[in-house]
Amino acid sequence: MVTSVIFSIVYGKQIKSMDDEYVILAQRGIEGISQACIPGIYWVEYLPFLRYVPSWVPSTTSRQLADKYKPYVLGVRDKPYQEVKDAVDNGTATPSVASGLIEEIRAGHVDENVARNVTSVAYAAGADTTTSAAEYFLLAMAMFPEVQKKAQAELDLVVGPYRLPEYDDVDNIPYIRAIFLETMRWLPVVPFGIPHRVTADDIYEGHHIPKGTNLIPNVWAMLRNSEDYPEPELFKPERFLGEDGKIDVNVRDPTTIAFGFGRRLCPGRHLSANTLTICIASTLHAFDITPGVDTSGRPVKLTTEIVGGLIAMPKDFPCGLKPRSETASRLIREAAAQVDLNH
């Protein structure tokens, strides 16, 4: 779902499965980027001259990583962009970010290298992060079934059984919005954030921070701060609701941390938030989510252990999703048929 939304917006391309050539290419490129961006893991960060050492020299892991993934990263940047460029030339291009940028290039307003980088980064920054958050949501619902039932009751009251939730419903389902906020807080997708470099000497709480210092924001610690979020290990959407049942603006909004800081604040945060919120609402409206059973028929034991590089994902994943009712089954079939029609 996340991949198809991003490819549609950025390239005007309909993705039918995760076996698509461009999706596989992008996933490999992101895999390399995620490994390369783990803060402090490579000596080249401290000794920049190591970038010139050939990859065949033993222990040059950063250079070997770069050589391995460079073709995929360049492919992510160039191949889908070139396809859109050819379609613009042929007059067959679907409206998209890429086609709009190409028109801007031809009008002399945008540099082509910038356009290629912007379109590729849109997928790299948005696909795995939003997907990971969706997986954390499913994990939370299986581990905290009382939250799931409360959310479904709100959806039944506001949306009713005969349609799926829509964006116009979001303001009227505050518990679902609170689940989104708690999903962003509970297990942060990027636990250590993106490193920033100080552009001028600074002082913070009496500590001198010289210009040029690399700072790594501990997003995990911020979003697990018990002063802001009591019992942080629990998944409690109620922490974001006031006595009136609406979102409490006095509680620290976790998205102001989870989406980064300053000029490097995620430019796709609104798209990600909207996509994840409607995913949460639609999934809860149609499905009951349980841990499920393994291949031996034993109940799956779920934990909050995470894996990955820069982007963290849950090690365990619930596999018990069943339609809530026959009416829900019909909604699912109708939604699937609509997707096939659009493709």
Binding site per annotation, positions: 266
Q: For residues 88 and 98, what is the distance between their CA atoms, to the nearest angstrom?
A: 10
DSSP β-ladder status, 312-314 and 306-308: antiparallel
Strand partners, 207: 204
Report the half-sphere exposure of 236 (CA within 13 A, side-chain side). 14
Provide the residue count of the chain. Answer: 343
Q: For residues 262 and 62, what is the distance between their CA atoms, to the nearest angstrom?
A: 28
Specify binding-site residues for heme.
266
Q: How far is CA 255 from CA 67, 117, 259, in A?
A: 35, 25, 6
Q: For residues 126 and 6, what is the distance between their CA atoms, to the nearest angstrom?
A: 8
**What are the DSSP E strand ranges found in 225-304?**
287-290
- Residue 212 has which token pair? 């040029």
Alpha helices in the chain (DSSP H): 2-11, 21-36, 61-90, 97-106, 112-143, 145-158, 174-186, 219-223, 255-258, 269-286, 326-342
Helices 112-143/97-106 angle, 10° precision = 170
